[in-house]
Chains A and B, each alone.
Chain A
């Protein structure tokens, strides 16, 4: 089966500043792929390179099995993109904005837009300049979804959304993916990734640090150790053989000890501290 996204050895710099270095990964059909990393890690650079907004020096990007450079703007018939900043033309109403986005895709998306507006509780009569950040985000989500693309690319989609709308957003994602779509979700909200993504890539300083299924990442050999050793509280990630750990503890005064599987936060921090 062809990869929906295939990125090989992608390198992009901004003059003397680092962008991303030698990044390779694939996203498979039906994935909800979590793209994790703090601000400046290079997530948006990869997305913007992939979608042709910026040009890259080295590497190859394939979407739907074809080099992205051959696809041109027609690829957006199959892609729904939500940028991290939800900006539109301020003088337009929400209805006009959604119609304009659909017209630009040369499709009639009125039925889907109506359904999405109802689900996300968007007032289509309001002007964009009257909307809060959260409501602009909702319009951006609808623009990305209304033409029923095969691939969703969301860059920080839930910032500004209230918890109910966040839940509705992920419910919608689940429905579209169940209907055959694929989703790339860039975020730094670990709980979103843990709860909704089946695969995760962790970025750090422009490099891909780790890529695996959420399940595998959560079941790394690492353990989180919390103990009171010789009267001092110790809290760390342990990746070695547990028998070795027991040997290390011999001769120490252990007041209390807790050995547990790491949370995603622990895994994330582990890759950042390495």
Chain B
């Protein structure tokens, strides 16, 4: 781990992290804060959505009522945080290694005492710090939302859900980080596309029984708010697969990046 490089990367990510954190956090805050004024409508909507079969299954409304703050949080706020967080993770990680070649700074950076393996480790550490910062800022803003609402935070489930979301974001980041090791381009679109594929594959798995395996493959399976807040048992296979995916992706990134020919 190289301290100077870590400081440099964190500084480079500061603005992006703040923008994403404030955007997702404030949107979540507003969504939470307006719950009391929408509560009556939400109870009615919840009854109507419950009759919508597959759609209700897909968004978890077969398990939770959006007429309660827990259900509302699990269905509404979790989508904002789940998609926003994973998109942030993807957008940061997909360019982390490739930006040195894309920006022609590779020779400047690697003509110093940092090894490529050390740079990979340090850059991923910077991504982790950005993800943690994002999570802390968003949670703080969500907490403000609960304060405005005057409701207590359902702490154990809240913590469980956000721990799983963090693991999901790390998995998405690790996959995008590995992609970044293999290219010299900023594949931002691919990163965002990957998040959407993972999100919708989880939704499909909840609607189409024959595609249930996708619930294990997609990290949205183990990080599903509706499952966590409704105490539905979460299969550990998805979590194990997620951890394996992180290890494999980072190992592939290190191995490939150490031996690749750097573009000038």
Q: In the bound complex, how far is the Cα of B108 from the Cα of A143, in angstroms? A: 9
Binds A, one of B39-47, B110-118, B151-159, B192-200: B110-118
User: Does chain A have a CB within 8 A of B105?
Assistant: yes
- A73-B112, A100-B4 provided; 20 other pairs, C-beta below 8 A? A44-B264, A48-B262, A51-B111, A53-B106, A53-B107, A73-B116, A73-B118, A74-B113, A76-B112, A83-B108, A85-B104, A87-B105, A87-B107, A88-B105, A89-B103, A100-B8, A101-B108, A103-B4, A104-B112, A105-B113
Q: How distant is the Cα of A105 from the Cα of B116 in the complex, in angstroms?
A: 14
| A residues less than 8 Å from B110 (CB atoms) | 52-53, 73
Assembled-state Cα–Cα distance A246/B103 (Å):
60
Chain B residues closer than 8 Å to A53, beta-carbon distance: 106-107, 110, 261-262, 264
Q: How far is the CB of A170 from the nearest CB of chain B, in Å? A: 21
Alpha-carbon separation in the docked complex, A74 to B108 (Å): 15
Selected contact of A101 from candidates B3, B104, B112, CB within 8 Å: B112
**Complex-state Cα separation, A74 to B113, whole angstroms:** 5
Whether a CB of chain B sits under 8 angstroms from the CB of A81 is yes
Say yes or no for B5: interface residue by CB 8 A criterion.
yes
Nearest neighbor of B106 in chain A, beta-carbon distance: A53
When distances are taken between beta carbons in the complex, the residues of chain A under 8 Å from B109 are 104
**Which A residues form the contact surface with B (CB < 8 A)?**
44, 48, 51-55, 72-74, 76-77, 79, 81, 83-85, 87-91, 100-101, 103-106, 140, 143-144
Q: Compute how far the CA of A105 lies from the CA of B261 in the bound complex, rounded to whole angstroms.
A: 22
Across the interface, do A89 and B106 meet the contact criterion of CB distance under 8 Å? no
Whether B261 contacts A88 by the Cβ 8 Å rule is no
Interface pair A85/B264, CB less than 8 Å apart: yes
In the complex, chain A residues whose CB is within 8 Å of the CB of B264: 44, 48, 53, 83-85
Query: How far is B104's CA from A84's CA once the two chains are assembled, in angstroms?
Result: 11
Interface membership of B259, Cβ < 8 A:
yes
Taking the closest CB of chain A, its distance from the CB of B223, in whole angstroms, is 34
B232 cross-chain contacts in A, Cβ below 8 A: none
Total A-B pairs, Cβ < 8 A: 73
Q: List 6 A-B contacts (CB under 8 A).
A: A76-B112, A81-B111, A85-B104, A89-B12, A89-B103, A140-B108
* B251 proximal to A (CB < 8 A): no
> In the assembly, what is the distance between CA of A81 and CA of B113, in Å?
12
Closest to A101 in B: B112
Cβ of B164 to closest chain A Cβ, rounded Å: 35
Name the one of B103, B104, B113 contacting A106, with C-beta atoms under 8 angstroms. Answer: B113
- Residue ID in chain A nearest B262 by CB atoms: A53
A237–B4 CA distance with the chains assembled, in angstroms: 56
CB proximity of B125 to chain A, nearest CB, Å: 16
Within 1-50 of B, Cβ neighbours of A (below 8 Å) are at 2-5, 7-8, 12
Binary contact track B148-175/A, C-beta < 8 Å → 1, others 0: 0000000000000000000000000000
A106 and B106 alpha carbons, distance in the complex (Å): 18
Cα distance, A54 to B12, chains bound together (Å): 27
Which chain A residue lies CB-closest to B3?
A103
Q: B12: nearest residue on chain A (CB-CB)?
A: A89
Q: Which residues of A contact B3 (CB under 8 A)?
A: 103
Closest-CB distance, B3 to chain A (whole angstroms): 8
5 shortest A-B CB distances, which residue pairs? A104-B112, A103-B4, A87-B104, A73-B115, A54-B261
Type the 1/0 row for B99-139, where 1 means its CB is closer than 8 Å to any CB of A. Answer: 00001111111111111101000000000000000000000
**Given A44-B264, A55-B261, A100-B4, are A88 and B108 also a contact pair (CB < 8 Å)?**
yes
Q: Are B103 and A105 in contact (CB under 8 A)?
A: no
Specify which chain B residues have a CB less than 8 angstroms from the CB of A81 in the assembled complex.
107, 111
Assess whether B108 is in contact with A87, with CB atoms less than 8 Å apart: yes
Output the least CB separation between A272 and chain B (Å).
24
Q: Smallest distance from the beta carbon of A156 to chain B beta carbons, Å?
A: 12
Q: Is the CB of B261 within 8 A of A104?
A: no
- Measured between beta carbons, the chain A residues less than 8 angstroms from B116 are 73
A51 neighbours in B (Cβ, 8 Å) = 111
B90 to chain A, nearest CB (A): 22
A87 and B262 contact, Cβ closer than 8 Å, known pairs A104-B113, A105-B112 = no
* Chain B 181-215 near chain A by CB (<8 Å), digits 1 or 0: 00000000000000000000000000000000000
List residues of chain A with CB within 8 A of the CB of B118: 73
Point out which of A73, A84, A90, A140 has the most chain B C-beta atoms below 10 A from its C-beta.
A73
